[in-house]
Structure formats: structure tokens, C-alpha cells
Amino acid sequence: MSSVRDKANRRISSLKSLLCVGLDSDPDKIPELFSAYANPVLEFNRAIIRATSDVAVAYKINTAFYEARGIAGLQDMENTLGSIPDAIMTIADAKRADIGNTSRKYARAFFEHWPFDAVTVAPYMGFDSLEPFFSYEEKLVFVLCLTSNEGSADFEEKLMQDGTPLYRSVLGKVASWSRNANAGVVVGATKSSQLGEIRREAPGLFFLIPGVGAQGGSLEEAVDLGVDADRQSALINVSRALIYPEVSGSGLFLSIDDYELAVAEEAKKIYDGMRRVL
């Protein structure tokens, strides 16, 4: 069993949480308060980590938010990765994959240069494009299966000749490519009508389920339908709805402590919602 999977499942069982905090940290959205620092995004991320680490099982760094800012963004990504406690899983949401020779470099980037525990990858270039990721048997590789967006209808949900949707074929392949139980799939929380059936088809895969909060997916359904028979092996990601909590009263957060408190309250609400179903 992949040691990353073990680490995540141990934390899921002990905390009774599936919370994956999405660090989609956008300089245009983070509060003015952080602009006093030389690296506002890094300070923001550290505040989010402090506010959520007691209930988080994973942090997902969506690389787009860092790559968009060039070298400075990548430096923030690296320093953020270094600020996450060891017991908590780290996911590079990079959505990579290319011909094998190139994927080997992507895998090295996100598993070695930046020692993430897991990475997200896209399936449509086939086995040789994903094998370099799966060859890291201790890590976790999340393959996009049925995504949360409307565009999932364009390809993923298209019916094949045998009448089954394309994402089901992805699911079967990913299960067969898993080494040392290191494969996972991404299924959107907005697709709860298919989530239960996908879990039944793939009882041994680890699930990453984004789309709760800003995209409107149901937290309770995501938990109930996404976990495996041991009520483990699933993470529910929340990004915007958690890291940008609504301000009450004055309309402004007066201090970073205030901000952390608001994020911690939001995390606690999500955590309580999860525990009720778990």
C-alpha cells in the first residue's frame, strides 16, 4: 500500500475528517491585510494553514495560481509546501501528462524537486503518459475521471459504442494501472448522481472530490457516496468557500488573527458536516 495513502487514511480515521483545503490563493482576492508583508500570498497561505491544520487531511496547491505569477509564484509554492506539517498530505494540482519522456520530467518536478505526496494528471494521452507517475509507488496519482465542470459533457460523459460513458473506461483503466494501491480518481462533487456508481465500480481507488462550496456540490452526498467500505480513501476539496470567508459586521477584517478565526470557523463547519455523515 502506498505510504501516502496510508498516511491519509490514518488521519482520516483519527480525525474523522476528509477535508482537503484548496490553496487556490489569488493575489486579487486575498485581504489587503496581507499586503504589509514582502510575500503576501505566502503569509496568506501560512495563515490558512494555521487556521485549518487541526482538521485538514490534505492541502491541495493548484499550481496555476502560482505559475501565473512566474518565479515569485513558484517560490511561494515551494515555501508553502515547506510550511505544511508532515502528517498532512500535499497535492500538486497540476493536471499534467504528456508523452512518457516528458511525463518523467513532470513526475520528477512534482514528486522530487517539489516533494508533493500526490499529483493530479489528465488521462487522455493514455498509459505511457501516466506510467512515469504511477512508477512512484509510495505516492498517490489522481487521474481526472468525471470532472465538476459543465464541459465534462463534451468528452468525459460521451457514450462509447457499448453505450457506457467514456469516464467509465478511464475508471477501469486507472484501476488496472494502480501499483501498490497508488491510484486515485478525481470526481466532481457536482456529479453526485454518478458518484455512488463510480465508487461501486472502483472500490479500491482513492477519490479526490472537488466542487463543494463555490461550485454548489453537496458536502453530505460527497462524503456519503465518496468513501470506501472502511469510510476512508476520499478527500473532499474546498477552496474559495473556505479560504475567502465572508466577513461579518464592519465589512473588513481588522487583523490577521480575525481572518484566521473566520477561516477556522468555516473549516469547523465543514468538518462538523463531514463527521455527521462519516
Residues marked active site are found at 95
**Closest approach of Cβ 20 to ligand OMP, in Å?**
9
Q: In this chain, which stretch among 28-36, 78-86, 219-227, 239-247 interacts with ligand OMP, using CB under 6 A?
A: 239-247
- List, in order, residues 6 or more apart from 32 with CB less than 8 Å away: none
120 interacts with ligand OMP by CB under 6 A: yes
Window 184-203: contact mask with ligand OMP (x via CB under 6 A): --x-x---------------
CA distances from 108 to 77, 99, 121, 169, 184 (A): 16, 14, 14, 27, 19
Q: Could you give the CA distance from residue 49 to residue 85 in angstroms, rounded to a whole number? A: 9
Window 131-160: contact mask with ligand OMP (x via CB under 6 A): ----------------xx------------
- In 128-233, the DSSP E strands lie at 140-146, 183-187, 206-210
Q: In this chain, which stretch among 80-88, 169-177, 221-229, 232-240 interacts with ligand OMP, using CB under 6 A?
A: 232-240
**Closest approach of Cβ 116 to ligand OMP, in Å?**
13
122 interacts with ligand OMP by CB under 6 A: no
The terminus-to-terminus CA distance of the chain in angstroms comes to 23
Grid look-up 473566520 returns 262
62 interacts with ligand OMP by CB under 6 A: yes
Q: Say if residue 175 is exposed, middle or buried (CB neighbours under 10 Å; 0-12, 13-18, 19+).
A: middle
Contacting residues toward ligand OMP, per CB under 6 A: 22, 24, 62, 93, 120, 147-148, 186, 188, 210-211, 213-215, 237-241
